[in-house]
Amino acid sequence: MTTYQAIYTDRIRQEVAQIPGEYLPLLLEMIHLFRQSIALKPAEESFRQGWQEALRSEALPVADLWTGTENVSYCG
């Protein structure tokens, strides 16, 4: 674990220690949902979801995806 990770892990532990016990199940659920929301889905699952959205006509034209990005600067 890097120093950066250790600092934040320690800060998270300090915050959790201050949470009343009756709220810990809700906090655990929030953490679990957060982790799921930032984790990348496997390619097969992502493709399946995209395919289902396309079949339901939930896809946007490519030109529409770029609308409003004219003033965005990219670092890379």
Residue 56 lies in a domain: no
Assigned domain for 75 exists: no
DSSP 68: T
Instruction: Please report whether residue 55 resides in a domain.
Output: no
Q: Tokens for 45?
A: 């699952």
In a domain, 16, yes or no: yes
Q: Quote the CA–CA distance of 25 and 13 in Å, as a whole number.
A: 15
Distances (CA, A) of 17 to 23, 27, 51: 11, 12, 44
Question: Based on the structure, what is the number of domains in the chain?
Answer: 1
Q: Does the residue 70 lie in any domain?
A: no
pTM value surpassing 0.85 = no
pLDDT in tens, 44-62: 888 998 899 989 988 878 8
DSSP helix, strand, coil percent of the chain (3-state; round to 5): 65, 0, 35
Query: Which structural domain, as residue segments, surrounds residue 11?
Result: 1-40
pLDDT at 72: 60
